[in-house]
Structure 1
């Protein structure tokens, strides 16, 4: 097994539902030092598993496993942690309960404290929905988290982002004529249309206009749409996708008993040094949204990734964007930033 399992037991979710025999899949890189102060938490994004995070981990990089103990927890619903695809009845497929970002981070906190005895986290970093989790860590545990670095992700799902995710959900539900009673009939083949919808949002107009997909080995726009978007989305379980879409659509670091929906107060409560990195051409996690958030976080810097790769500027594909993110993390982790 390339990852480990942390048994959560029977957990009461934010919704009030008790999820029985819940578990968190995670992978660690490097070693925990004696002081237990070299910890980086790096949650996964929508549809991703820990392996998709590994591009940002390596020798002489900011996330250097020879220096840091890096924990990559898998999002609930992603197929490795508790998910519709791996839970027995009564929590399988369409019966899987609604999981919030708050739930995810609370379970990650249990992993960090109960399994490893960690009380301080040097950095929480993440892309997209991983970025939302970084914000949530800062708001939920302000005295524990020293730095956060969300990239291409907001502290909540702003209205237009909600609409984008809703379009992806609608493309999947159309396969069963929007009949919720037929959700269990969905198959991975039905994910093809979801990939097509997301294709228009994941990358910028300039990316498509300059035909940069040719650099990835695709000869035409159609080849790119089928060879990358359709193929990658059809590898996902549709029930897992619906679960993660719900988590994404309802993400808000203040939607919990601590902040009672007061988004501004939640942002102001984050004590961590924050390096917030929007993609300059991201079409649905916008620089403007991050700008609002950064102004309210006491120790935040807005550091846009100047790139035509849109949301995927944070996906680990384009070397210039990767270097920008890594360099930014090195500056954030430098001793003089304490």
Structure 2
């Protein structure tokens, strides 16, 4: 691991969609995002959806810490910090060993998946032709870290927490508080002002927050904490290749980069991508309009943002 420790007998979960071409030149990598497992993200894969498996060989890979791949919940000696760098190194090995894939047509990712896609472009500049950075950044910004460290503090303050990222039992009350806090960050102020949180199932704010309280019930707290630490440490330059020099890491990217921040995202801000843009060789900034905040990048059930995402990504993939 980049910051010490090892994952013994490491496991990576994955699922493929479509057919690998004889030349192995139609591969689109789609790593998972925070708290998600690959089945939860399959909704955007389909002939009429964002990623078309009749054209592309789409490979979903579960990131470390998500409960399918090696995670605190299934690995007794899971290291304190497993980074995006560690994830992409393992992903590349799987693609080589299982499929004989040396180069990606594209890496597509949302949120923490976007961080991994960015790492692919910076760490393996000759191995990926295009990347789509959907609501992500090259380095986790300080205000983003404020959000993440608040969530960490909620979990670590639970009486069930026993240190070193482990829990004696699932901290049910802490996870409910965790969900309530998350609700204030995942969607924008404008989303709530417009009353989009209200529905027949959630007729008022209290009912809506009760849904968020249970959002992470099935996710082990140790896994949630491990992924928070990975997200917090996100930095494409924090590795032996780039030595912490972010402009150098960005300049090393040879892939065509589509930056798609959410216009009202509260933690992966448009300004983060604007600051990255001058250092990239071949990039386009194309914000997702609308008021759904960070969720605009994973707009299940939101036809407007889905259509915008579909058109932009399909055009970029070619």
Q: TM-score, normalised by structure 1?
A: 0.90
1:224: which partner in 2? 208
- Give the conservation status (yes or no) of the 8 Å contact 1:187–1:238: yes
Q: Is the 8 A contact 2:159 2:171 kept in 1?
A: no
Distance 1:186 1:287 in 2: 39
Give the Cα–Cα distance (whole angstroms) in 2 for the partners of residues 325 and 55 of structure 1. Answer: 13
How far off is 1:215 after superposition? 4.2
Residues in 2 aligned to 1:215 and 1:149: alpha-carbon distance in whole angstroms: 32
Q: For residues 37 and 122 of structure 2, what CA distance do their matches in structure 1 show? A: 24
How far has the Cα of 1:148 moved from its partner?
0.3
Given the superposition, is the C-alpha separation of residues 221 and 333 from structure 1 closer, same or farther in structure 2, using an over 3 Å criterion?
same
> Is the deviation greater in 140-149 or in 311-320?
311-320
Segments of 4+ in structure 1 off by > 6 A?
A: none
Q: Structure 2 matches for 1:222-301, cutoff 5 A?
A: 222-227=206-211, 229-301=212-284
Query: In the superposition, relative to structure 1, how do residues 63 and 177 fare at CA in structure 2: closer, same or farther (>3 Å)?
Result: closer
Residues 203-234 of structure 1: CA deviation (Å, up to 9, x unaligned): 0001011110224731111111111x111122
Number of positions where the alignment pairs a residue of Structure 1 with one of Structure 2? 316
Shift of 1:113: 1.2
Residue 50 in 1 paired to residue 44 in 2? no
Q: Does 1:332 align with 2:305?
A: no
CA shift at 1:75, angstroms?
Answer: 0.8
Answer with 100-109 or 215-224: which moved more: 215-224
Identify the match of residue 194 of structure 2 among 210, 217, 226: 210
**Aligned position for 2:154:** 171
What is the rounded CA distance, in whole Å, between the counterparts of 1:60 and 1:120 in structure 2?
Answer: 25
1:107 equivalent to 2:90? Answer yes
Matching residue within 53, 56, 66 for 1:78:
66
- Partner of 1:136 in structure 2? 119
Inter-partner Cα distance in structure 2 for 1:299 and 1:285: 21
Helix, strand or coil at the partner of 1:58: coil
Matches within 5 A, 1:118-137: 118-137=101-120
Name the CA shift for 1:195/1:148 in 2 (closer, same or farther; >3 Å). Answer: same
Higher helix fraction: Structure 1 or Structure 2?
Answer: 1
Residue 176 of structure 1 aligns to a residue whose secondary structure is: coil
Provide the rounded CA distance (Å) in 1 between the counterparts of 2:32 and 2:200.
Answer: 24
Look up the SS of the partner of 2:136 in the other structure: coil
Pick closer, same or farther for the CA change 1:181–1:73 going to 2, 3 Å.
closer
Deviations 1:65-104 (A, max 9, x none): 11111000001000000001112x3x1xxx5442010000
Shift of 1:61: 3.3
Q: Which moved more, 1:174-183 or 1:103-112?
A: 174-183
- Aligned residues of 2:4 and 2:79 also touching (Cα < 8 A): no
The alignment partner of 1:276 has SS state of strand
The equivalent residue for 1:3 is none
RMSD: 1.6
